[in-house]
Structure 1
Amino acid sequence: MGRLYKVSEVARMLNVHRVTVLRWICDKKIRAIRIGKLWMIPEEEVRRLLGGKQEDVAVLYARISREDQKGDLEKQLKTLEQYATARGYKIAEMITDIASGLNENRNGLKKLIELAKEGKFNILVITYPDRLTRFGFKYLEELFTAYGVRIETVFMTEKSPKEELLEDLLFIVTSFAGKLYGIRSHKKRKLVQGFKQLLKEIEGE
């Protein structure tokens, strides 16, 4: 039978997270032997895996902050599709959100996490880091890594970070005003309009 390899060793050889290897074992995609509390993988099985690695399955994620930015949403998806296709990835799904990057309750983001938990894909492709989230990108990256998903970013920096930041500030003020005065309140509309005017004055300086 030859040598037996630990899960962590096989994960390094295949350039995947150890959780992914354990999931493959549970799904009977990898032949392994249980020794005490540990799973050990026979040498011939490791050779088989190295000869034909698991197919790269990607989910593409795009996000815009407002409805009037749908043209940019289409551009993001086109860029992501070209990127994934050029690398030979199988595209499992394209997921989008129209919401601020500060909003943690995005339906698209929730779906991404659920699909990752279910092991439906192993690569998440985004155009910029802040398309996934404005803050806390590293935490989400660690979460997806724990589910065996690697995040790939087409571009590393946003073209206009100031504009995106101002939009997120507006989202915070709008959400705060809605909770304080009510969604349809006159005071809420007045506060939001006043803040929009302030942003215009700041941009004009």
Structure 2
Amino acid sequence: MMKRLVSIGEAAKAYGVTPLTLRRWHESGKLLPDLVTEGGRRRYDLSKLQPAAEGRPAQSDPRRTIAYARVSSHDQKPDLERQSQVLESYCAAQGWTYEIVTDLGSGMNYRKKGLKRLLDDIIEDRVGRLVITHQDRLLRFGAELVFAICQTKGVEIVILNQGEDTSFEEDLARDVLEIITVFSARLYGARSRKNAKLLDGMRKAAEADGA
């Protein structure tokens, strides 16, 4: 059979992975291209890729699909269950082998157990796809940084709902209260009546917005 050399983009589609994954396989020696042009472009023999294109993967990305869900507080557990169900249904419908990782904590807390585990797995190249319902479910501020890490590591990001998260205002009010609580501990320690009065006013305003 005559060789038909294709670009890395076509080869990636045949294998069901991203071009970045093929580049990483090349660099690690896991899968070498059949030709590298003088300009550094990789070319692959299509005849070797046909089994994968027909649904019989010759070699698949061993990394996992992680679906991540988060809520801010214990009384939002029903929403956490709802997020998990939505993620499970979507991943199952795509035919992916997946794992659900859940967190209970503020969207501004970078030290949550589930998030730390997720980041460790991404950095260690154990995650190939990240699925979330909304961007804010990952982090309130700083999600773009996580996405940048994912891009560097060749992790596909799937956000099911690009619209507004219906729990945004409630979660934001909880996050503001958490900030106030931290500052309260510091300012109350100074025994300042003025600071205490100011913080009480801020707390009441945040609670009113979240009601």
TM-score by structure 1 length? 0.74
Tell me what 2:180 maps to. Answer: 173
Q: Which deviates more, 195-204 or 139-148?
A: 195-204
Equivalent of 1:50 in 46, 49, 53: 53
Q: Residue 103 of structure 1: which of 105, 109, 113 is its match?
A: 109
Distance 2:29 2:103 in 1: 31
* Superposed counterparts of 1:144-183, under 5 Å: 144-156=150-162, 157-178=164-185, 180=186
CA distance in 2, matches of 1:70, 1:202: 21
Tell me, in whole angstroms, the C-alpha distance in 2 between the residues paired with 1:27 and 1:81.
34
Out of 5-14 and 45-54, give the one that drifted further: 5-14
Separation (CA, whole Å) in 1 of partners of 2:145 and 2:51: 34
- Correspondence for 1:59: 66
User: Structure 1 residues 172, 33: closer, same or farther in 2, change over 3 A?
Assistant: farther
Q: By how many angstroms is 1:41 displaced?
A: 3.8
| Distance of 2:187 and 2:121 partners within structure 1 | 37
For 1:155, the aligned partner's letter is: N
Equivalent pair of 2:174/2:210 in contact (CA under 8 Å): no
SS at match of 1:122: strand
Letter matched to residue 153 of structure 1: I
Q: Give ranges in structure 1 of 5+ residues lacking alignment.
A: none
Q: Which moved more, 1:191-200 or 1:147-156?
A: 191-200
Query: Deviations along 1:123-181, whole A, 9 cap, x unmatched?
Result: 21111110011123333223212212111122222013222221221222223334x35
Matched, 1:32 2:39: no
Letter in 2 for 1:158: D
Query: C-alpha separation between the residues in 2 aligned to 1:46 and 1:166?
Result: 52
Specify the alignment match of 1:2 in structure 2. Answer: 3
In 2, Cα distance between the equivalents of 1:7 and 1:169?
A: 47
Residue 96 of structure 2 is aligned with which of 84, 89, 94? 89
Q: TM-score, normalised by structure 2?
A: 0.73
List runs of 5+ in structure 2 lacking aligned partners: none
Report the equivalent of 1:131: 137
Larger radius of gyration: 2
Shift in Å, 1:11? 4.2
8 Å Cα contact 1:101/1:134 also seen in 2: yes
The C-alpha deviation readout for 1:15-56, integer Å capped at 9, x for no partner, is 74443223334272x343686988654444444443445368
Q: Match of 1:151, as an amino acid?
A: I
Is this contact kept in 2: 1:31–1:45, CA < 8 A? no
Distance verdict in 2 for CA 1:72–1:186, change over 3 Å: farther
